[in-house]
Amino acid sequence: MNIGIHVSTSGGLDKAIDRTTELGCNAFQVFVSNPRGWKSTLLDEGTIDLFLEKYKSAQIKNAVSHSIYLINLASPRPELRQESSQSLLSDLQKTARLHLDGLVTHIGSHQGDGLMIGLERVSEALKEILDKDIQTDLLLENTAGAGTLIGKNFSEIGEIFDLVKSDRLGVCLDTAHAFESGYEINTEKGLDDLVKEIDHKVGLKRLKVIHLNDSMTSLGSNRDRHEEFGEGCIGLEAMIRIINHPSLRDKPFIMETPKLKSGTEGKEFIMTIKSYVR
């Protein structure tokens, strides 16, 4: 099972490798810039070399980075779209230098201008970003569907794929967001229906990573609140079904919840989840 967590880089980027292996994980996700600010974090050669030295020697199969939270490629404000594009481009470059598998990003909100206008703005920005010669994937994450956010379903994300037409564009499925946006992945049929939709709209080969989060909020709530594996409204039985689904089980699973960040308890939690793999 390719299972991991979003790890802190406190104390140095290389500490992400230490924390991943200490928990018994073989996958991870990191921020390569301050997630709450526009200023890009600079990575010197010494930092990169130390990270790569540890990364190459660790038993890690998959790793991705995550963009900053301020990204909005669909904004009515041209300056915000430009800042978003520059931030993604910078983080893509760092992701490639660190030999990670891709950069996960939220898409943004059209803020009332309409879905089609928002999709056109997103697609134009992505074409410009992906036109650069950077050999790593940009992964669009589905949303919980609040307000005018784009990406609440895979039809919307599929529209972007159709407009951009890039082999370097991929998808990150967040299970909590899917449930919160109305996908009944707490049932066997609902999960199968979601997998079929992803395959039809973007292709399962484009699904590069899964954020394995349970949800604090109910089906269709449109409220983005993550819960620990099996302890939320999706539930343990359904979460076990997700990690064993034949079309998903070989994908890297990344959890973004706090329990996993604490030493012994986190390691035991990972071991418990691995025990559910059939």
pLDDT of residue 258: 73
Which position among 81, 211, 214, 241 bears the catalytic label?
A: 211
Beta bridge partners of 103: 65, 138
Say whether pLDDT at 263 is over 80.
no
Q: For Cα atoms 240, 246, 251, give the angle at the middle one, nearest 5 degrees.
A: 80
pLDDT in tens, 106-149: 999 999 999 999 999 999 999 999 999 998 999 999 999 999 99
Q: Which residues partner with 144 through β-bridges?
A: none
Catalytic residue among 177, 180, 206, 214: 177
Q: Which of 168, 206, 224, 241 is catalytic?
A: 224
Is residue 174 part of the annotated active site? The answer reads yes
Res 4: pLDDT: 94
The pair of structure tokens assigned to 97 is 């230098």
Nearest CA to 117 out of 78, 144, 62 is that of 78
**Which residue out of 36, 44, 250, 278 is catalytically annotated?**
36
List the structure tokens of 250. Answer: 């070989």
In the residue annotation, 141 being an active-site residue is answered as yes
264 band by pLDDT with thresholds 50, 70 and 90 = confident
What letter represents residue 67's amino acid?
S
Write the pLDDT tens digit of every residue in 235-259. 999 999 999 999 999 999 999 987 6
Read off the pLDDT of residues 38-69 as tens digits, 9 standing for 90 and up. Answer: 998 889 999 999 999 999 999 999 999 999 99
Residue 262 has pLDDT above 80, yes or no: no
Q: Answer whether residue 183 shows pLDDT above 70.
A: yes
pLDDT by residue (tens digit) across 149-164? 999 999 999 999 999 9
Q: Which domains does the chain have, with CATH numbers?
A: 64-256 (3.20.20.150)
163 touches 120 (CB < 8 A): yes
Whole-angstrom distance, CA of residue 112 vs CA of residue 117: 10
The one catalytic residue in 6, 66, 110, 241 is 66
**Considering the chain, what percentage of its residues have pLDDT values greater than 90?**
94
Residue 209, pLDDT above cutoff 80 = yes
Whether 69 sits among the annotated catalytic residues: the reply is yes
Q: Tokens for 6, please give them.
A: 């979003």
At 260, is the pLDDT very low, low, confident or very high (cuts 50, 70, 90)?
A: low
Which residue carries 């025990």 as its tokens?
275
Q: What is the pTM of this model?
A: 0.96
Helix or strand run (H / E) with residue 208:
strand 207-211
Told to judge if 6 belongs to the known catalytic residues of this protein, a careful annotator would answer no
What letter represents residue 166's amino acid?
S
pLDDT for 40 equals 87
